[in-house]
Structure 1
């Protein structure tokens, strides 16, 4: 029998995940709006900025302090560690179960942060226990999420970092001699974080930290349940 090339099968989750990851990208914008505008020059979803700000703080730059960045970075890494272990524990098990568990953990951390944020004084932003608790809880949630997304291996949708996405849009474009691979997905990822940041900023300015934190958790759970209900999520986690 002559050899026939057979296309590699698509991962069982490939049809369901991109839409979920775009929605999670919206929540990234929400969370960074919460942290940057509500907690003062600290990121809890995007760690690159924290490393830069930490360098400013070490140099003694006015307005930058070590503690918030250290709390954010360490909490993010702890969340990523737990997320990595959770992903390993779900290998060979139903993908939808892993997704639902991960969403439950992330949303719970965001909703606990929302509870802590009740009555939080954004204008003050003094280093109170509530201040550090909100940083730690949201960074834990985002670290856990990033570890989960990393293991799912969906191209061009990291949900948090856009540097490589923007680089790919330019470097792989027709103007650069490329074939524009995944340009729609890449563009949608950028737009999603932009939209989330704009919505988050408007909510923080008008209503404080609690509403956008509640919304971020709600979007995470709702989007994940919709994804898990899709037939393509019936396979096992790889």
Structure 2
């Protein structure tokens, strides 16, 4: 099959990245207290709870996650504009290396972190920061790639589309496989991440696995002929 008509490997890569989102969400929610580092909608809601004085909700973790997430997105925005006319594989590999390095840095920090006690506090905020920068960077990168129905981190619009564009709603079910795959990937990643956190009592393994999947999956995508063309 000629290179020009080979299907892009990006959807498969983004499904794999969706699975790693589930891993990161399991780490943040189960191991870092009431905070998300991949899903900022949840953080804004939790901040509202904290501002209202709801028990168990703290302002600082959410603010750290929001600020560092935006920092990661800013860096990715500049990188994406700089890489726009270069081969897609170069952009993807740089992005994957950056994200994996941050996730593995968080894993190293997590080696001395007590999940049950959320201590030491310095390690808590360092893990929040490293994973939120990685997820902000990823979100901005995926946004620039513009692959329909595969955001890798947010499912609200995806699930809405499954129902609103379905046959009972009078639709034609566009990208239904991609949409269902995205839901299944994040669900599976969250289940796997929860098992790893609960069984090991540590965040090291899920963070290491997430970084390894990001880097290995992107490397496999980069060897595809479609990755030679400018992004």
Q: TM-score of the superposition, structure 1-length normalised?
A: 0.93
Q: How far 1:127 moved relative to its partner? A: 6.3
- Asked if the contact 2:113/2:120 (under 8 Å) is kept, the reply is no
Summarize the alignment of residues 54-133 of structure 1 with structure 2, pairs less than 5 Å apart. Answer: 54-126=47-119, 128-133=121-126
Compared CA separation, residues 13 and 41, structure 1 to 2 (3 A): farther
Separation of aligned partners in 2, 1:182 and 1:235: 24
What does 1:1-238 align with in structure 2 at a 5 Å threshold?
15-126=8-119, 128-207=121-200, 208-237=202-231
* Residues in 2 aligned to 1:78 and 1:115: alpha-carbon distance in whole angstroms: 21
Contact 1:13 1:95 in 2 (8 A): no
2:22–2:186 CA contact under 8 A, matched in 1: yes
State the Cα distance separating 1:40 from its structure 2 match: 1.1
TM normalised by structure 2 equals: 0.96
Q: Deviations over 1:145-194 (max 9, x none)?
A: 00000000000000000000000000000011100000000000000000
Corresponding residue of 1:8: none
Spell out, residue by residue over 1:113-168, the C-alpha distance to the aligned partner (whole angstroms, 9 max, x if none): 00000031111014610000000000000000000000000000000000000000
In structure 1, C-alpha distance between the alignment counterparts of 2:178 and 2:58, rounded to whole Å: 37
SS in 1 for 2:28: helix
Report if aligned partners of 1:13, 1:233 keep a CA contact under 8 Å in 2: no
Q: 1:14 to 1:137 in 2, by over 3 A?
A: farther
Say what the alpha-carbon RMSD is for the aligned residues: 1.3
Look at both structures and tell me which one has the larger radius of gyration over its CA atoms.
Answer: 1
**Count of residues paired in the alignment:** 227
C-alpha deviations, 1:16-40, integer Å up to 9, x for none? 1000000000000000000000011
- Residues 172 and 179, structure 1, Cα contact 8 Å, conserved in 2: yes
**Gap regions ≥5 residues in structure 1:** 1-10
Contact 1:203–1:212 (CA under 8 A) maintained in structure 2: yes
